C-alpha cells in the first residue's frame, strides 16, 4: 500500500456554516478540536483516499476482511484514543461524543463495513466501561492500546434481542468459578474480538449477568459468519466455557440496565453513518448528472432534477443539523436532565429513514448509474437500508419515542440554555446512566418558544400544523382500541417526531449560522411530510369523524417561493458539482 498522504483542511470549522454543512474530505474537517483529534481524522481520511475507490469497491465485492484497516487503526491507536475514558488511558484518551460523531461520519462516507467494526466495538465496550470491575477495565484499556476490537454478545438466533428469553446460561461452581453454555447470534467482530461482552442468566437465581468472553480460549466455538459481507457477524457458542469472578461485569438489575444503556450509547451512531454515506452518494450523483447530456441538455438543467437535488440536499443538511444538536443534549445529560432519551432514538430512527429518502431521490436522478459496480453509490444504496433496522427497528424506537409525547406537549419545564458542546472532555454520564426506568418523569423545554423565535413562511405554516396536532391530542385523543393498534400509533408518532425534529433543527440553525433560505427550504419538506402523515392518519379505518376533520386541516401546502428555491440550487447545490471525486 502507498505511504499515507495526510489531507489537512485549510478552512476553519467552528460551526456548520451553510456552504460547509456537508462533509468534504479535503476541505472541512473540524478545526475546533485539539491537534490529536485533527490528526486522527486527517489520517483516517488519508487511509481511505490512498486506498482508492477501485480497491475499496473490489474489497467490498469480494467480501475481503478489512485487515489493512484494522492494522492502520492499531498502528495509530485510534480506537484507544477515541474509546478509552481518560481515567484509564493516556492524556489524549477520552470518550468524547463530539469527535466520535465526526469519526462516524468519515467511516460512513467510505463504507458501512469500516464503520461497523467501530460500531460493534462501541457496543462491546459499553458493559465493560459501565462495570464496577476495575480490574477488567484496566485490561480493556490495555487491549484497546494494543489495537483490540470488541463485540456485544446480546442477541440470540431464536429470540433476537429479547432479553427476557435469553438462553445463555452461567452456572456457579463455587469459589468464584462458573461454566457458561449457550449460543449468541448476529455478533459483530465475533471472529477477532479481544473480548466479547456476553449477556446471559445465572442458573441458580435466574438473575441477569454480563461476563467477558475471550474468543481465543478453550470451549469457545466460532460457528459461522451469518451475513454475506466484508463484516464478520458471528454466531458463536460456549460449550462449558470457564468464567471466573474477575470476568463478571455486572449482575441483576445492573446487567439489565447495562444492556439498554449500552444501546443508548451505540444507536446514536447509526444516524451519523447514514449522513456520511448519503454525502458521498450526493457528490457522485451531482457529478454524474452535471456531465450527463440528454436531448441536448445537461441533466441538471431539467426542472424536476433540480427539485430532486434541492430536496435531497435540504434533507441531508437537516439530518446533520439535527444530529449535531442531539449530540449537545447527550453531552450535557445528567440524572436531572435526560432529554437525550428522546433525541437519541430519533437520530437512530428519523435520521436513518431520512437517509433512505435521500438515496431514493438521488437514485431517481442517476437511474441505472446507481447499479454500476464502480460507483460508491451502488454500495450505499444496498447498505443504507440496514441502518433503520439495526440497534432496534423503527417500530421499537418509535414505541419509545411515543412515551415522551404527553410531557413534551403538555408539561414543559425550564432548563438552562445549552450551546454547542465541542469541548474536549469525557462524556462520563454515558457510562453512569443509572436505572432505565422513569421515562414518564422526563420533562422537556418548551418547544413553542423555539418555534416562535423564527419568522419564516414555512415555519409559520408548520406551527399551525403543530397546533392542530395538539388539538387532536386534547379533544380527539386516541381511544383505548386505537392505542392498541400500533400502526395507528406509528403514524401519530411520525407526526410527533416531526415536531421534535423541527425544534432541534431551529436550535441548530441558530448555533451554526444557517441562512434563512436553507432553513425555510428545509421546512418546505417538513410541511409536506407532516401533510403526508396527516393524510395517513385520516385514512386509518379506525379514525373518528373529529380526528378526520383535524387531520384534513393539518394538510397544508408549503409557501411557493421560486426565487428562494433557485437561490438554493444556484448557490448551494449546483456549486457542489466536481467539488469531490474519490481517486480511482
CA neighbor of 32 nearest in space, from 17, 57, 14: 14
**d(Cα 306, Cα 574) in Å, to the nearest integer?**
9
**d(Cα 136, Cα 249) in Å, to the nearest integer?**
8
User: Which residues 6+ apart lie within 8 Å of 261 measured at CB?
Assistant: 126, 130, 430, 431, 433, 436
pLDDT at 500: 98
Q: Is the distance from CB of 401 to CB of 345 less than 8 angstroms?
A: yes
Q: Grid cell 427497528 — which residue? A: 393
Task: Look at residue 293 and give its three-state secondary structure.
Answer: strand
CA distance readout (Å), 355 to 24, 264, 315 = 18, 20, 8
pLDDT at 392: 66
**d(Cα 322, Cα 310) in Å, to the nearest integer?**
18
Task: Look at residue 410 and give its three-state secondary structure.
Answer: helix
pLDDT at 47: 98
Tell me the backbone φ, ψ of residue 354, rounded to 5 degrees.
Answer: -65, -35
Beta bridge partners of 182: 238
> Taking the model in full, what pTM does it have?
0.95
pLDDT at 13: 36
User: How are beta strands 195-202 and 169-174 bridged, if at all?
Assistant: parallel
**d(Cα 163, Cα 157) in Å, to the nearest integer?**
12
Task: Look at residue 198 and give its three-state secondary structure.
Answer: strand
**d(Cα 572, Cα 578) in Å, to the nearest integer?**
13
pLDDT at 160: 84
Torsion of CA 247, 252, 253, 257, to 10 degrees: 40
CATH superfamily of 152-255: Butyryl-CoA Dehydrogenase, subunit A, domain 2 (2.40.110.10)
State the DSSP string of 148-182: --EEEE--BTTTBT-GGG---EEEEEETTEEEEEE
Write out the chain's pLDDT in tens, 584 residues: 444 554 444 333 334 444 578 999 998 778 889 999 999 999 999 999 999 999 999 999 999 999 999 999 999 999 999 999 999 999 999 999 999 999 999 999 999 999 999 999 999 999 999 999 999 999 999 999 999 999 999 999 998 888 888 999 999 999 999 999 999 999 999 999 999 999 999 999 999 999 999 999 999 999 999 999 999 999 999 999 999 999 999 999 999 999 999 999 999 999 999 999 999 999 999 999 999 988 988 899 999 999 999 999 999 999 999 999 999 999 999 999 999 999 999 999 999 999 999 999 999 999 999 999 999 999 999 999 999 888 766 777 788 888 999 999 999 999 999 999 999 999 999 999 987 788 889 999 999 999 999 999 999 999 999 999 999 999 999 999 998 898 999 999 999 999 999 999 999 999 999 999 999 999 999 999 999 999 999 999 999 999 999 999 999 999 999 999 999 999 999 999 999 999 99
**d(Cα 276, Cα 109) in Å, to the nearest integer?**
4
**d(Cα 136, Cα 242) in Å, to the nearest integer?**
16
Beta bridge partners of 178: 172, 243
**d(Cα 91, Cα 95) in Å, to the nearest integer?**
12
pLDDT at 570: 96
Task: Look at residue 512 and give its three-state secondary structure.
Answer: coil
pLDDT at 312: 98
Phi-psi domain of 83 (left: phi exceeds 0; alpha: psi -120 through 50; beta: other): alpha
Q: What DSSP designation does 343 have?
A: H
Q: Is the distance from CB of 199 to CB of 208 less than 8 angstroms?
A: yes
Q: Is the distance from CB of 376 to CB of 284 less than 8 angstroms?
A: yes
Q: Grid cell 419515542 — which residue? A: 401
Question: Exposed e or buried b for every residue in 435-447, given b needs 16+ CB within 10 A?
Answer: ebeeeeebbbbeb
CA neighbor of 321 nearest in space, from 563, 111, 17: 17
Geometric angle at alpha carbon 472, from 471 and 477, rounded to 5°: 125
**d(Cα 75, Cα 471) in Å, to the nearest integer?**
58
The C-alpha cell at 29 is 474537517
Task: Look at residue 232 and give its three-state secondary structure.
Answer: coil
Q: Grid cell 441562512 — which residue? A: 515
User: Which residues 6+ apart lie within 8 Å of 480 measured at CB?
Assistant: none
CATH number of 18-149: 1.10.540
**d(Cα 409, Cα 440) in Å, to the nearest integer?**
13
Q: What are the residue boundaries of the structural domains of the chain, listed by start?
A: 18-149, 152-255
Amino acid at each position: 500500500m502507498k505511504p499515507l498522504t495526510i489531507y489537512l483542511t485549510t478552512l476553519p470549522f467552528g460551526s456548520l456554516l451553510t456552504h460547509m454543512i456537508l462533509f468534504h474530505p479535503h476541505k472541512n474537517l473540524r478545526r475546533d478540536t485539539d491537534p490529536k483529534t485533527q490528526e486522527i481524522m486527517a489520517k483516517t481520511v488519508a487511509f481511505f483516499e490512498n486506498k482508492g475507490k477501485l480497491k475499496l469497491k473490489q474489497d467490498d465485492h469480494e467480501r475481503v476482511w478489512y485487515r489493512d484497516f484494522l492494522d492502520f487503526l492499531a498502528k495509530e491507536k485510534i480506537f484507544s484514543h477515541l474509546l478509552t475514558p481518560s481515567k484509564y488511558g493516556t492524556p489524549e484518551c477520552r470518550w468524547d461524543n463530539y469527535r466520535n460523531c465526526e469519526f462516524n461520519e468519515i467511516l460512513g462516507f467510505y463504507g458501512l463495513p469500516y464503520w461497523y467494526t467501530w460500531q460493534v466495538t462501541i457496543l462491546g465496550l459499553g458493559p465493560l466501561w459501565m462495570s464496577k470491575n476495575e480490574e477488567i477495565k484496566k485490561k480493556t484499556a490495555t487491549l484497546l492500546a494494543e489495537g483490540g476490537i470488541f463485540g456485544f454478545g446480546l442477541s440470540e438466533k431464536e429470540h433476537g434481542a429479547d432479553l427476557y428469553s435469553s438462553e445463555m446460561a452461567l452456572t456457579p461452581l463455587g469459589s468464584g468459578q462458573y461454566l457458561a453454555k449457550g449460543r449468541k447470534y448476529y455478533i459483530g467482530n465475533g471472529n477477532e474480538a479481544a473480548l466479547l461482552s456476553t449477556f446471559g442468566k445465572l442458573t441458580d437465581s435466574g438473575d441477569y449477568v454480563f461476563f467477558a468472553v475471550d474468543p481465543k480460549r478453550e470451549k469457545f466455538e466460532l460457528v459461522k459468519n451469518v451475513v454475506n459481507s466484508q463484516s464478520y457477524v458471528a454466531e458463536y457458542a460456549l460449550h462449558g466455557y470457564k468464567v471466573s469472578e474477575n470476568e463478571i461485569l455486572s449482575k441483576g438489575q445492573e446487567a439489565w440496565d447495562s444492556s439498554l444503556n449500552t444501546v443508548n450509547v451505540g444507536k446514536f451512531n447509526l444516524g451519523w453513518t447514514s449522513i456520511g454515506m448519503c454525502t458521498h452518494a450526493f457528490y457522485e450523483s451531482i457529478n454524474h448528472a452535471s456531465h450527463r447530456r440528454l436531448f441536448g441538455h445537461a441533466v441538471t438543467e431539467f426542472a424536476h432534477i433540480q427539485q430532486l437535488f434541492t430536496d435531497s440536499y435540504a434533507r441531508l443538511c437537516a439530518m446533520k443539523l439535527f444530529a449535531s444538536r442531539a449530540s449537545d443534549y447527550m453531552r450535557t445529560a445528567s440524572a436531572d436532565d435526560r432529554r437525550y432519551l428522546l433525541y437519541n432514538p430519533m437520530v437512530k430512527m428519523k435520521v436513518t429513514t431520512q437517509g433512505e429518502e435521500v438515496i431514493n431521490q438521488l437514485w431517481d436522478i442517476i437511474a441505472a448509474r446507481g447499479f454500476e459496480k464502480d460507483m460508491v453509490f451502488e454500495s450505499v444504496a444496498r447498505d443504507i437500508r440496514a441502518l433503520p433496522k439495526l440497534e432496534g427497528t423503527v417500530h421499537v424506537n418509535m414505541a419509545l419515542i411515543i412515551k415522551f409525547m404527553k410531557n413534551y406537549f403538555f408539561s414543559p419545564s425550564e432548563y438552562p440554555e445549552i450551546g454547542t458542546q465541542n469541548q474536549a472532555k469525557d462524556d462520563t454520564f454515558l457510562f453512569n446512566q443509572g436505572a432505565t426506568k422513569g421515562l414518564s418523569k422526563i420533562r422537556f423545554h418548551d418547544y413553542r418558544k423555539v418555534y416562535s423565535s423564527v419568522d419564516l413562511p414555512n415555519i409559520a405554516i408548520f406551527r399551525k400544523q403543530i397546533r392542530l396536532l395538539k388539538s387532536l391530542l386534547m379533544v380527539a385523543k386516541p381511544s383505548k382500541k386505537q392505542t392498541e393498534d400500533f400502526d395507528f400509533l406509528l403514524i401519530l408518532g411520525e407526526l410527533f417526531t416531526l415536531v421534535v425534529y423541527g425544534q432541534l433543527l431551529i436550535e441548530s440553525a441558530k448555533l451554526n449560522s444557517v441562512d434563512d433560505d436553507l432553513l425555510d427550504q428545509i421546512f418546505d419538506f417538513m410541511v409536506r411530510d407532516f401533510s403526508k402523515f396527516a393524510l395517513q392518519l385520516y385514512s386509518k379505518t379506525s379514525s373518528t369523524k373529529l380526528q378526520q376533520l383535524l387531520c384534513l386541516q393539518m394538510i397544508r401546502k408549503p409557501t411557493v417561493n421560486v426565487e428562494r428555491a433557485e437561490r438554493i440550487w444556484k448557490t448551494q447545490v449546483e456549486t457542489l458539482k466536481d467539488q469531490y471525486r474519490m481517486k480511482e
